[in-house]
Amino acid sequence: MPAVPAQPDGAPLTVYETHPCRVLLGRGARGKVPGEAERLGARRVLLVETRSAAAAAGELAAALGGVLAARFAGPVVHTPVEVTDEAMRTVRATRADLVVALGGGAAIGLGKALSARTGVPQIAVPTTYAGSEATPVLGETAGGRKTTRRDPSLAPGTVVYDPELTVTMPPGLTLTSALNALAHAVEALWAPDATAVTDALAGEAAARITDALPRVLDDPTALPAREELQSAAWLAGICLAQTRMGLHHQLAHALGGTFDLPHAELHALLLPHVLEFNLPAAPRAAARLTQALRGDPVAVVGALARRHTGPGRLRDLGVPRDGLRAVAEEVGARPYPNPRPPAADEVTALLERAW
Ligand code: NAD
């Protein structure tokens, strides 16, 4: 990505760019998908679905009725091209003219990959808080190597957020996925290309996540809290789309890629450590987060992360201690913005603490 343009005194110049997107959000919003498909003039819909959302997908398939051309279950994280090729055969055989992707970031990613290859429009129906539906970014894996591209046409033109679809998330996924969303907001606050818009969205997202998440964990069926959490994930997704992510996302990508780790869990366990590392070098972000979280960000996020009953340390995820240094060096060598220089020694120490 190009460097952030500066004003004459060196302060960053605001550059704000967005893509057209129609968003529906609310309980029962999934019932509007057939109408949205009709709005787009679709006659042959391919439904891409996460296996764990089979019940919702079945319901949606029935609601789509005659315009449903085929269903494709089994998207895989990091969008391996072999899976996309398999789904493309269905797209061609059915001459699908709309992709509806129902599921987590894996399903949304496959929807983007199919749209990129065919130009067909997409409707994203997210069931986690990962935020991919809000971004014009696609990461794909071929031969074990992940490449990422950014293009406005990759962003789904319609997004339907229905909090009722998130109720089936187990508590562990709810927690880690919400912290994944919080990480987008946090990194947007210290991004060099932050704008007044992203500051506002990130602050609101962080406040809503830390307010709603404990209520959802106490009662996973509490729909108003689920709705608040999902609206926060939407805002955080826009932050992810509009700013350059820093050390936190680089570490998550490097560790996830090297050791094949679960996306949301990794984000959740890293976030308190990256906050502790970066906040002293990012006073504006620290002040905004302290206000949004109504407390010390490291303490508030750390307390939330500790509610996870699953793997809470890198060692619990099977990461070997002697592999940490190489990850720190890899991350230190990449070009990305971060408020504190990611020197290999210091990042290794950060990873040791997370280990
Ligand atoms: P995921 O899509 O793999 O979902 C995690 C697990 O939860 C899966 O087993 C899934 O079947 C299950 N699941 C999803 N929704 C559920 C629900 N409502 N109830 C019960 N189970 C449910 O993981 P994710 O964290 O949502 O997304 C991660 C993927 O998205 C990664 O591939 C990541 O690279 C990508 N991503 C991309 C972007 C982008 O901008 N391109 C942004 C965020 C994430």
Neighbours of 341 (CB within 10 A): 10
Torsion angle of the four alpha carbons 329, 241, 338, 312, in this order, in degrees rounded to the nearest 10: -60
Ligand 1 pocket test, pick from 30, 48, 51, 52 with the greatest ligand atom count within 8 Å of Cβ, gives 52
Q: Beta strands 45-49 and 22-25: pairing type?
A: unpaired
Query: Is the C-beta atom of 231 inside 6 A of ligand 1?
Result: no
Question: Nearest to residue 164, comparing CAs of 227, 98, 99?
Answer: 227
Query: Is the C-beta atom of 338 inside 6 A of ligand 1?
Result: no
Query: Is the C-beta atom of 101 inside 6 A of ligand 1?
Result: no
Query: Is the C-beta atom of 177 inside 6 A of ligand 1?
Result: yes
- Ligand 1 atom 39: the closest Cα is on which residue? 132
Task: Give how far Cα 267 sits from Cα of 20, 54, 254, 312, Å.
Answer: 28, 26, 12, 11
Which tokens go with 292?
């949004």
Which tokens go with 173?
């996924």
Query: pLDDT (tens digit, 9 = 90+) per residue, 178-224?
Result: 999 999 999 999 999 999 999 999 999 999 999 999 999 999 999 99
Please state the pTM of the whole predicted model. 0.97
Contact 230, 129 (CB under 8 A): yes
pLDDT at 1: 52
Query: Is the C-beta atom of 141 inside 6 A of ligand 1?
Result: no
Ramachandran class of 41: left when φ > 0, alpha when ψ lies in -120 to 50, beta otherwise: left
Average pLDDT, the chain: 96
- Ligand 1 atom 29: the closest Cα is on which residue? 105
Cα gap 270→244, rounded to integer Å:
18
Question: Nearest to residue 121, comparing CAs of 224, 19, 198, 46?
Answer: 46
- Ligand 1 atom 37: the closest Cα is on which residue? 132
Would you say the C-alpha torsion 8, 9, 14, 15 has a positive or negative sign? positive
Atom of ligand 1 nearest to the CA of 78: 32
Cα gap 169→127, rounded to integer Å:
8
Residue type for 117, please? R
Which tokens go with 255?
């560790």
pLDDT at 183: 98
Residue appearing with tokens 């539906």:
133
Query: Is the C-beta atom of 317 inside 6 A of ligand 1?
Result: no
Question: Nearest to residue 139, comparing CAs of 91, 100, 81?
Answer: 81
Q: Beta strands 122-126 and 158-161: pairing type?
A: parallel
Contact 202, 241 (CB under 8 A): no
Instruction: Spell 245-258 as b/e; 16+ CB within 10 A means b.
Output: bbbbbbbbbbbbbe
- List of domains in the chain: 22-166 (3.40.50.1970), 171-354 (1.20.1090.10)
Q: Which of the four pLDDT bands, split at 50, 70 and 90, describes residue 2?
A: low
Query: pLDDT (tens digit, 9 = 90+) per residue, 30-89?
Result: 999 999 999 999 999 999 999 999 999 999 999 999 999 999 998 999 999 999 999 999
Angle at 255 between CA 251 and CA 260, to 5 degrees: 145
Query: Is the C-beta atom of 105 inside 6 A of ligand 1?
Result: yes
Question: Nearest to residue 282, comparing CAs of 191, 196, 158, 167?
Answer: 191
pLDDT at 4: 76
